[in-house]
Amino acid sequence: MGPSNPSHPLPSHPMPDAPPSCQHVPAVASYDVIVVGAGSAGCVVASRLSEDRHCNVLLLEAGADHKGIKALPVNLPGFYSKLQTGPFDWQFYTQRQPHTRNRVHFWPRGKVLGGSSSINAMLWVRANPEDYNEWEQKLGLTGWGWNTIEKYYKKCEKYRIPLDEIDQGCHGFDGPLGITRTGNGVVNPLTLAYVKAAAQYGLGLGKDGVTDANAPKSAAQLSPMGIDYNGHTQFGSGVSHTTVYKGDRMSTSRGYVWPFIDPRSRSYRPNLTVATNAHVSRVLFQGKRAVGVAYLVAGSSKEHIFWARQQVILSAGAIQTPQILMLSGIGAKEELNKHDIPVVADLPGVGKNLQDHLFALSPFLDSSNSAYRDGDLGLLINGFYQYLTGHRGVITTSPVQALSFFSTENYLKRLSKRDPMRPPPPPNVEIHIVPATFSAEVIRTLRIDSAVIEPLGEVKPNKVFNVNDLRNKSHVIRLSEMGGTVPRFFLPLVSLIKPQSRGTINIRSSNPLDAPLIDPRYFSVKDDLDDMVDAYIQMRGIIAIMCKNGFPLQEWTDQGIVDEIVRVKECSREEAFNSRDYIAEQLRRVAVTIYHPVGTAKMATDDDPMGVVDIKCRVRGIEGLRVVDASIIPIITAGNTNGPAIVVAEVASDIIREDLARQAFALARL
């Protein structure tokens, strides 16, 4: 008896058509393992499983590969800002967010081989050991603590940063992912000035990662490159570690897949097949066992099928993994019933527990003319020349050149009240340093202009609230409406990395081509906004030191917010600008995603009713189906999430290989 799903009759032909637009696919009926989604995690798990030459692996990707001249922006780090809204991006948008002035938020995700590792800012951040220890010790996820995780980070890393600039014994040097300093080791003067000023300010250098200007400072903290935040301590500031190698972006497709799919290569693996332009619409079941997937080829609504002899692994990311699960009949039965999707497994946690990081677009006018400017023709020509003659120069650099990690005092007080005996927690805030101006075109994609401007307090009879006037005075809204060249900015992006707010992913309909409903519920927990305000105040303190050190920077003030605070508080304009009220309103209007959604198919123990997968990444109540990507991360990590997604896949790959080997051994004994 073949697989069935009553709501979706299967095509009559059991063999895949292998249409011309579905790249690299031979007409093979089935594979041992099918991996859905060739992103940060999917490329890793497909590559690792195919190391066993007896395991035939099919890796499916809805987007294209990133080879050839059309894909040049993917491979050149300096073209990062050109990738959003293009053909390599899913271009998702959230529901309106009531706590961010009812804005719609733009959520780019990679639609290309390598997924979001092919369109992100290339930052390599392991996060904090306590992030992973919390998974194991607090949540009971055995085998997912730092003692395990650290080994797998070393396994995937190929560090090429000078040894005297990193902590000894903390890094890997032989893995598939090349990691360098900012990409080419060249650092903008503003970046170095920031790292120096942050150390002077004591950012993150006090007890438990708080700011303390009087704290003793190590040689690393005082060095030009700052701390190794992937080393012995995450707290403090340092020049970025990036997944850029020999001048090119080091996506997971480049590191884990490309070396093994070229028949002309010595490392070619005939048991690893990659299919691009294949949009998976659902998982196919025989009873409670996953036995294959249905997929659509770009431009067609006709379903094709691939069969899986042993495993289907979903690695479509925190947005589309829950979407595929729900379209396949796995999710909250009430939600599935709404769309007439027969229930295969009633798992209410699918699509819940959505977490994301936020940062604030806070431009500072740079009078030193040190900041790079997007669209500068001379910079671009020189950058191309340097790239072509030696794979170096500004276009081989991540836009984010330094990072700071620290904890706010109120955050530590809250955690201490809940658990006085807990170890020092991970940092709750981060600052991304971008010594460059994004173009008006890029800023428009952030949809800052979707904000609904409202009074900050009662409008008295003798006062005037003119929404159009305040909107015209809003600096970032005005920036997003500009054309041509924008001013030269330095961007210290204050970031919330331990949010308490939790959101949801839901399907819009039973049509797999309809984008899911994304509701991150930003700032729905007030502490999140308060923590960002605390961090913003400290960022201003560092900028003041930079100014004293000879780098004149001026915050671009939103005069409309100042007007409103003056009207409501009846204070001076200076008092209004320096108030927490100004910063909080600024954040409501300009905070945007850092592109780090996780948690929507979370890993949990059996006693957690909202769990979706177990510690072996197996979907509850289903045989032959696993999830391996950022959606299984139960609590978001303190830092950029590409590294954690990759390391999750590294750990899961060994778990799956062991299980497959055990099954093969058992069958051999029959």
Sign of CA dihedral 601, 179, 494, 588: negative
As a whole number of Å, the end-to-end CA separation of the chain is 23
For the chain, the helix, strand and coil percentages under 3-state DSSP, each to the nearest 5: 35, 20, 45
> Would you list the DSSP string of 333-357?
HHHHHHTTPPPSEE-TTTT-SBB--
Neighbour tally for 396: CB within 10 Å: 27
Burial class (CB in 10 A: 0-12, 13-18, 19+), 462: exposed
b (16+ CB within 10 A) / e for 364-374 = bebeeebbbbb
Cβ atoms of 97 and 529 within 8 Å: the answer is: no
Neighbour tally for 120: CB within 10 Å: 26
Sign of CA dihedral 357, 363, 367, 369: positive
45 is in an annotated binding site: no
Q: Where are the beta strands (DSSP E) in 473-599?
A: 489-496, 504-506, 517-519, 553-555, 591-593
Does 66 qualify as catalytic in the annotation? Answer: no
Q: What's the number of CA atoms in the CB half-sphere (13 Å) around residue 576?
A: 20
- Considering the candidates 8, 304, 475, 596, report the single residue annotated as catalytic: 596
280 is in an annotated binding site: yes
Distance CA 191, CA 407 (A): 21
Query: Nearest 10 degrees: CA dihedral of 522, 526, 529, 530?
Result: -170
Residue partners of 174: CB distance under 8 A and separation at least 6? 158
Tokens of 437: 């101006």
Residue tagged 């769990």 (tokens): 611
Residues facing residue 297 across a β-bridge: 278
**C-alpha distance from residue 228 to each of 163, 167, 231 (Å):** 11, 6, 5
Residue numbers in the known binding site for FAD are 112, 280
Catalytic positions:
596
Q: Which residues are annotated as a binding site?
A: 112, 280
